[in-house]
Amino acid sequence: MKRRSGEFEDAGEAQVSPIPENSRAILSNLWRVFCAVDLSAAIGDRLMQHITRLREAVPQSGASWSRESNIHLTLKFFGDTQQSRISGLSEATSRAVRGRAPFKIVIEQTGSFPKAGAPRILWIGVSDESGELNALKRHLEDECASEGFDKESRPFHPHLTLARLRLPRAARALAVAHKEMGFEPIEVVVSELKVIRSELNSEAAKYTVISRHPLAS
């Protein structure tokens, strides 16, 4: 039997080798971690209403939609991180918010990534007119670098991920509907950073707060 790309020669035989014990131990010590502002309580209802309208506009979208409880404005994504380094990460986040007062941002505008080709991500924009969000991001990068974490080299474009798109034909229709609907601006107060663990599975990501870091003047 000829094998097509991505298929095994004989489906009746077990083709997956067992994970070595030492590799399992390494994997179990790695947590997928990021630092973010939790916005679900402030704008969750509005985002869910927007998602409902999009799903009605393009019923067969095949999109993976964000859940209300999982709406985060990510400031820094660390990826797979050794558990032994997470306490240092949390301490760096505490230092980053020290002496910083809560501030306001505006959630507005709609768009998609990438700009060319079939859209893969729908997003809601974040306006930072005061510059406080960018300043907090820079302080977080500096403090995390002091703990040995790499600085992010890409420009910071704050946004909320609304959906991940899988079907190219439906993706274009969703992106057009998303842009035409727009999103009425809503002001949000940033008062806390959270260090969060993300656990991926076949249905949806599970998020667990590792530490909380309130902003205070």
Domain-wise residue ranges, the chain: 32-197+208-214
d(CA 217, CA 209): 23
Coil vs helix vs strand at 87: helix
CATH of 32-197+208-214, one of 1.20.1300.10, 3.40.1280.10, 3.90.1140.10, 3.30.450.90: 3.90.1140.10
Per-residue pLDDT at 2 exceeds 50: no
Per-residue pLDDT at 189 exceeds 70: yes
Count of C-beta atoms within a 10 Å radius of residue 59: 7
pLDDT of residue 217: 61
Per-residue pLDDT at 156 exceeds 80: yes
d(CA 180, CA 183): 9
Count of C-beta atoms within a 10 Å radius of residue 156: 13
d(CA 133, CA 140): 10
Q: 205: closest CA among 4, 5, 2, 31?
A: 31
pLDDT of residue 25: 42
Mean pLDDT of the region 2-24: 37
The identity of residue 33, as a single letter, is V
Q: Which two tokens stand for residue 213?
A: 């870091």
Mean pLDDT of the region 140-157: 95
Mean pLDDT of the region 131-153: 97
- pLDDT, tens digit, 9 for 90 and up, residues 52-94: 999 999 998 889 999 888 889 999 999 999 999 999 999 999 9
How much of the chain, in percent, has pLDDT values that exceed 90? Answer: 72
